[in-house]
Amino acid sequence: MTPNTDTVVRSTQPEDTEKWLPMRLALWPETDESQHRKEMAMMCSDPKRYGVFVCEDGQGTLVGFAEVSLREWAEGCESSPVGYLEGWFVEPTNQRQGVGARLVQAAEDWAQSRGCTEMASDTNLGNQVSEAAHLKLGFQVAAEVIAFRKTLAPR
């Protein structure tokens, strides 16, 4: 890993919204913009429960983000609350430069400062890059699950 020293990792500010949004859309394209905006506003309005960190390059461009929350429970964890990595993204051209690791470190520091002794996360089955990155940063596989859903017929 070649650390990129021109970048800074910091908490998100209200003026970051329009730069944070396209990164969220890239990570979760199945979610529409209005829903993203609702979720972002919800996180920003509840700083006791949510932390959002961004990485900014020397030109003021945001190149990655990490979202962390406090969850009462997480798979495989023994403590409560648990720091949960809700979202983690680095722009493709900025990957493999240590940005992702620094964002996770900021998320872990946030959780630890709120009394957490464990951190948890998840990824889709088959996201090998995410799995490799989690393992490299000290996470262990706690469970492999398949999520199901169905629409209930109106009665």
In the block, residue with structure tokens 């959002």: 52
Q: State in angstroms the smallest separation of the CB of 72 from ligand COA.
A: 20
Distances (CA, A) of 54 to 16, 84, 88, 123, 149: 9, 16, 10, 20, 32
Q: What is the DSSP letter of 15?
A: G
* Residue nearer to ligand COA on the CB measure, 40 or 133: 133
Q: What is the DSSP letter of 88?
A: E
* Residue nearer to ligand COA on the CB measure, 59 or 93: 93
Q: State in angstroms the smallest separation of the CB of 107 from ligand COA.
A: 11
The residue number whose beta carbon is nearest to ligand COA equals 100
* Residue nearer to ligand COA on the CB measure, 10 or 96: 96
Q: Which residues bind ligand COA (CB under 6 A)?
A: 1, 27, 88-90, 95-101, 123, 127, 129-130, 132-133, 136
d(Cα 66, Cα 137) in Å, to the nearest integer?
14
Q: State in angstroms the smallest separation of the CB of 67 from ligand COA.
A: 10
Q: State in angstroms the smallest separation of the CB of 57 from ligand COA.
A: 12
In the chain, beta strands by DSSP E: 8-11, 50-56, 62-71, 82-90, 119-121
* Residue nearer to ligand COA on the CB measure, 140 or 151: 140
Do 110 and 15 contact (CB within 8 A), yes or no? no
